[in-house]
Structure formats: structure tokens, C-alpha cells
Structure 1
Amino acid sequence: MQSSVLAFATDLIDEGADTFFGRLTDRAGVGGVTLASVYHAARDVFPHHPTRVVRYLEPGAAYFRPDPARWAGRRLAPVAAAAIGDRDPFAEAAAETTRRGLKLHAWTVFCHNDRLGFQHPDCAPANAFGDRLLTELCPANPEVREYARGLVDELARYGVDAIRAESLHFHGLRHGYHHERYFERLGAAAEALLGICFCPHCLAAAGSAGVDAERARRAAAADVRRRLADEAAAAAPAELDALGDGALAAYVDASARPVTSLAAELSDRAREHGMRLSFLDGDGPGRGWLAGIDLPALARAGVAVETLGYAREPAAVREKVAAFALHGVAAADLAVILRPMAEDCDGPANLAAKIAVLRELGVPEVEFYNYGLMRLSSLDRIGAALRG
């Protein structure tokens, strides 16, 4: 079983290569590092950072040096994080992993990018009222798809083994903006409807699939207005199949096509470069419908999948991983992320039992979240669990 720890490029910069990689190999005992290449805004607490405890990560920043020639003339382009200065953490990581016999993976956030969303609102998803959700990029938008292809090509320069593709799909209303506020209770249905993209590209894609896209948009807008006006209506469950006489449900089904086709294209492109790509479905089987995640379609397209095995008990990890097979994704095409921290694990035996479950099910890769956000004792817990 391959193993890796997810980390930020700032961990490498701030601690230095010897300390950073030494802890990964000597304490965690893993065979690779999954380094963030493009990441969203965040404010995190770093328990073992050498000089600080709280760090802010820049919105939609890249942690490699983009090749200017590759992005010439494009509106959507990665911007190197100010935190890396004139360094290239990915070049440094590539050299160190090669020297130490480790795998380098690129943890890449594709469509959750508020820097680019705010700069180019026409590339962001639009709800049924035309409001742009500026913390995101729409995977049906041609410029977004070109940007995603460019990221894959860039990462190939560094000898990356695998791209861990996060946010290669739509997101809901509540996702990733500072001080999101809802003073009236919207209800789950209104929130879900406000997260569906009706931008011109999504409307056209649904129309080409035979869906009455405008009818679906009007139905979504009318139902949201009804729920916003009445507290009792807001609490009522959604009946998507009934809205627009089925047009809205058909529209949501069609929204998976751009996601699947983009994932398949990037997976093929990565393979041409000698890399692998795995699509992160964090919530798991049956929960990504509104995000455009169609697991059987991804499996048919040959796209590998990664998921979060965040749970207290090994039985819960087993249940989630086993459920993927019911959606066409074999365990051999899965990677699973575990958290060794106290929130999920009460000790090395608990983590070792989860790893044993993954091995038993035939999962070939396990990753651990997140180097900078865990105590050093959690790195020791990984090492003990892997040895066990």
C-alpha cells in the first residue's frame, strides 16, 4: 500500500527540507508527500510551526512558479503565492523526493478559487437569479476548462506522480466565504436550489442533452422565492422531481456531464504526461448529485477516485469504502484520506485498524491529513500504525 501525508508548501519553506522530509520519513514513515499546488483561502492553526501558530493562506494561490509563456493571453491563470517569494517549492520538493526515493503528489484545488472568481465573475457559477457565486469557477465554462488543462500541463514539469484533484465539480451555496450570513432560516431545499448553476454554459449543456433548461431555471427560482417568503415553506422538504414537471431534476442530472467530461479529459491528459489523476469525492457515494458527481460515469471514463475516510471507528471507514463498489468504483481505483488526530483516532491501534480495513478491501493508497495542522505526536501515530 502506498502512503503519503498531505502538506502545504509553506510547511516545507518554513521548516526547511531536512526537518520537513525527515519528519515524514523518520516519524510518519510514509512513502510520499502530497503537496498543495493550488489552494484556496484559509486560516489555520499550526501546532508545531517553528515561529507562528496562526497562518492565513492566500485566496486561490499557486505554490509553484507558473510558466508565463504557457498562460500568455489567457484571462484565467495561476498566480504564485506571495508566501513563496522567489522560490519554487515544487521544484525543491521534486528534487528532494527524487533524492530520498519518495513519491511527489500534487494536491490541486481546481474550481474553488475566489481570487479568479472575483476577478472574472463571468467564469463563476450563476444561480437561478443570475447571482454569481464568486468563490467558485464553473466546470462547464470553456475558459475554466482551459485553465484546468493548463494546470495539469504545468505540474507535469515537476515529475509529479499523481494529481489529487480537489473541487473539480460544482459546490453548494455554503462553501468557503468569510462571514457567510443567513439571518432567516433558508431551509435545506432553498440552499440546495441556490447552489445550482444556471450560467449560459450550463444552460447550453443541459439544452444539448435535451433538457428544457429555461423551464428548470424558472422552476428553481419560483421555488426559492416561495421558500424565502414563507417560514413554513422554507422548512418543507424539496420535491425536485415535481419542479418544472421534472425539468429541474433532469437539469441537475445533466450537470454531471461537464464534470465527468472534464475529469476524464484531465485524467487522460495526466496519463499522457506519465502522471495519474484522482478525483476527490469527499462526501462519498450518493451525496454528490447536486455537485455534478456521477461516480458510475467517472468509473466508466477510467477516472480514479479519492475520498475522505474521516470517522472514529474502523467499521465506518469500511462502510463508506465498500459503498463505492455499489456505484461502480472498485476499491483498486480508490485512494482514502485518514486523519490521525484525536478527533478521529484515540491512538495508533485505532489508526492501524483503519489501515488494515483498507488493505483488506484492496485499497492501494492511503493519505493522511494534514502535516502542518497535526501535532508531531500524530505523525508518530502514523508511523506506529503503518508499522503495525
Structure 2
Amino acid sequence: MKVTGYAYPWDVLEPGFAARARELGVDEVAVALSYHSARAATPWSASRTAVVARHAAFYRPVRPQAWGSLRPSTPDWVSSDDSGGDAVRLLNEAGIPAAAWLVLTHNSRLGYEHPDVVVRNCFGEAYPWALCPSQPAVREYAATLTAEAVAGLELSSVILEACGPLGVVHQHQHEKTDGVWAPAVARLLSICCCGACASSWDRDAEAVRAQLANEVWRLIATGDLGVTADNLPPELTQLLLRVRQDATDELRAAVLATLPPGTRIVLHGALDPWVTGALPGLTPSAPDDVDAVVLFGWAPATGAEAVAAARDALPERVAIASYITAVAAAPVPDIAAYAGELAKAGAAELHLYHLGLAGPGRWSDLGTATAAAHENH
């Protein structure tokens, strides 16, 4: 199995990172060139314990003339205006393949500044963390971001995160919605009802919004936090999903059109078409456009099952990758065995989170996972 380790630019630029990555034996390091807000621990730093990225930012130079109405912010918590490029070049010089890790539609700062281009639920509430793929300005932004991110860099892959819609269930500031919404409610609250989406419904938009809202209230009133099905007419459900998938396809097409021919494309995604977030649901045409699909594998109880289902569903030429973490309150009891299970289920790649966040206390887990992955060809 190929092993890709994820890192932030400041992690890579920390003294000793390249040597640790080489010793770890990862085949590729994915560097975040566009990322959302975060407070990121820095357990390998001798001078600080965390980097506070106060807002979503672009870690390459932001050339004003390159952007349209949506333009990313520059980070003042790094010293270079090209920390992402610096990190990639450092890895290149160390002989370690570097991938571009791009977060596309998750940008709360832009969402607050441009509320007209974000996802809106059936009650008209805006999700500022979620730029809507149906909006032409969002597709232009994602395409420009991709082109500007990869410009002038030697890259082994381009890894696309949030290349699709985000929804109601997504960490936002101090999250106080965990465990509140049943799966069916979360699915309905994640359907975008903005003007751009509604214009593709071919139905009375207010009537559709009211129908969704009434069903949300009905499901909440049942008190059933496990309910997964709703009572919407199947033809409406199919219409709403088609509009979402068409917009996602247009977003991905705009992004991919900016990349040089032959670029290796890795897409974070999920088999369930209704999933929103960092790993959004795959559309029927998505496998035709990519070389690998990364599935969420942080839960060992379901990770291998997800890989097996994807291996059955996707073309053989598309590599299946599993995204696992060594940064968690409860580590995987036997991470080597888990890597073996993923390989047996059909995973060709292991994506490791996270080469900067996993400090000395979890580094051995990363080493064990990498060694086990390389033993499973």
C-alpha cells in the first residue's frame, strides 16, 4: 500500500520534519496549501505549542489580479507569503514527493463576507462555513484556488477535500449541535435551498422549502434520534439529489480544467451520495475524473467495510484509499492489524492524519501503520 502523510506548511518547515518523514517511510507528504480555520497543536516545535489559524487561508501568494469576487485571505501566523510553496520545495529538495492538499468549499471568512454564495437550508438559514457549488462565483473561486495553488510547484498529486457541498453537521466554533439531529433530519437540513440551487428545481421554490421544513419539524417531533428515513415523495428526493450532483460535477470540472494534463487527482469522498462535508458524496461521474478516492477510515469498526463496498462499486483503475488517524483520544488498539484489514478489503493507499499533530506520544503508531501498509501490497 502507498502511504500518504498529511501536514500543514508550518509542520514541514519545522526543523527535523523532513528527516522524520524520511525515517517514517511515507511515500508522499500532502501539504495543506488551502485550509480552514484551526488551532493546530505543534508537539514537535521547540518554541510553541500551537498555531492559531484564525480564519481560512491560502498558503501561496495571493495575487489580486488572479481572483474574481471571492478572494482568499492571507495568513499572518506564518512568516512567509508562500509558506506552502516553501514546504513543497523543502520536501522536493529532500527527495520526498509532495502533494497539494486543497480544501475548496469550506471557508467561513468568505461565507461571512459573501452570504449570497453560501448553502442555505429550507428555513433560509445561511451556513457561512459552506460555499455552495451551485454558485458560479464559488466554482470560479475553486478553479482559481487550484490553479494558483499548484503554480510553479513540483507535485506528486493534487488532493481535493470538500470538493462538493458542506451541510448542517460540520464543526463550527464551539460546536453545540452534536447528537441533536437524527440522520434523516441532518440530511434534510443539509439540502441547499439557495437561489442558485432553487433555480434548477423546476418547481415552486417556496413550496419545496416549505415541504422540507414541515418534514424536518415532523421528524424532530417524533423524538427519534435514530430515524434515517423521511416521508418526502421519492421524485422530489431524486430531483434534489440530481441538482446537488450536477452542481458538484460542475465544481469538479472547473477545478480539474485548471490542472496540467497527467496530474494525479485524489478525491476525498463517500459512497453515500447524500453525505456532505470534507468527504462529500461521490457523484456517478466522479470516478471517471480521478485516480484515487479517499474514504473516511477513522472508525475501525466500519473502515474495512467501507473500503470493500467502494472496491465493488468503483472502476478497478481507481485506487481506494483509507484515511486513518493517529490523533485521537482513543488510539486504534492494533493499528497494524487495521492496516492489514484495509488492504485485504481492497485499499491500495493509506492516508495518515497527521504528521504534525501526532507528536512523540503517537509517532510510533504512525510508524507501525506505515510499516504494516508497506507489507501489504
Tell me the TM-score normalised to structure 1 length: 0.83
State yes or no: 1:108 paired with 2:96. Answer: no
Alpha-carbon offset, residue 249 of structure 1: 4.3
Q: Which residue of 1 is the match for residue 375 of structure 2?
A: none
Distance 1:56 1:317 in 2: 31
Give 1:99's aligned residue.
Answer: 93
SS of aligned partner of 1:371: coil
The structure-2 alpha-carbon separation of the partners of 1:269 and 1:335, relative to structure 1 and needing over 3 Å to count, comes to farther
Question: SS of the residue aligned with 2:86?
Answer: helix
Letter of the structure 2 residue corresponding to residue 36 of structure 1: A
Paired letter, 1:270? L
Structure 2 residue runs without a partner (length 5+): 373-377
Q: 1:344 to 1:10 in 2, by over 3 A?
A: same
Match of 1:178 among 173, 186, 191: 173
Tell me how far 1:235 sits from its aligned partner. Answer: 5.6
Q: Considering fraction of residues, name the structure with more helix.
A: 1
Taking only aligned residues, the RMSD between alpha carbons, in angstroms, comes to: 3.0
8 Å CA contact 2:191, 2:240 repeated in 1: no
Q: Secondary structure at the match of 1:108?
A: strand
**1:299 is aligned to 2:318:** no
Q: In structure 2, what is the Cα distance between the partners aligned to 1:184 and 1:368?
A: 27
| Paired position in structure 2 for 1:325 | 311
CA distance in 2, matches of 1:46, 1:367: 20
| Secondary structure class of the residue paired with 1:255 | helix
Q: For 1:142, which of 136, 147, 152 is the aligned residue?
A: 136
Of 324, 332, 336 in structure 2, the residue corresponding to residue 345 of structure 1 is 332
Cα distance in 2 between the residues matched to 1:245 and 1:212: 17
1:38, CA displacement in angstroms? 1.2
| Candidates 238, 245, 257, aligned match of 1:256 | 245
**Residues 213, 251 of structure 1: 8 Å contact kept:** no
Aligned-partner residue type, residue 154 of structure 2:
G
Point out the more displaced range, 328-337 or 177-186.
177-186
Pairwise CA distance, 1:195: 2.0
Please tell me the residue identity of whatever aligns with 1:338: I
- 1:32 Cα shift? 2.1
Distance across 2 between alignment mates of 1:333 and 1:265: 22
Q: How far apart in 1 are the matches of 2:222 and 2:283?
A: 35
1:69-127 residue CA offsets vs partner (Å, 9 max, x unmatched): 312xx221122211123342222223222222211111111111101000100011111
* Residue 159 of structure 2: aligned partner: 164
Does the 8 Å CA contact 2:267/2:290 hold for their aligned counterparts? Answer: no
- Aligned counterpart for 1:131 among listed residues 111, 117, 125: 125
The CA deviation at 1:54 is 3.9
Matches within 5 A, 1:185-334: 187-207=182-202, 214-226=206-218, 231-232=221-222, 237=227, 239-240=229-230, 242-243=231-232, 246-272=235-261, 274-281=262-269, 284-286=270-272, 288-289=274-275, 293-302=281-290, 304-312=292-300, 316-330=302-316, 332-334=318-320
* Counterpart among 13, 18, 23 of residue 20 in structure 2: 23
Q: Give the whole-Å Cα distance in 1 for the aligned partners of 2:37 and 2:125.
A: 21
Q: Is the 8 A contact 1:295 1:329 kept in 2?
A: no
* 1:245–1:384 Cα change, 3 Å: closer
1:266-311 deviations in whole A, cap 9, x for unaligned?
Answer: 2353353x42222212xx4226446762353312444631122223
Letter matched to residue 358 of structure 2? M
TM-score by length of 2: 0.85
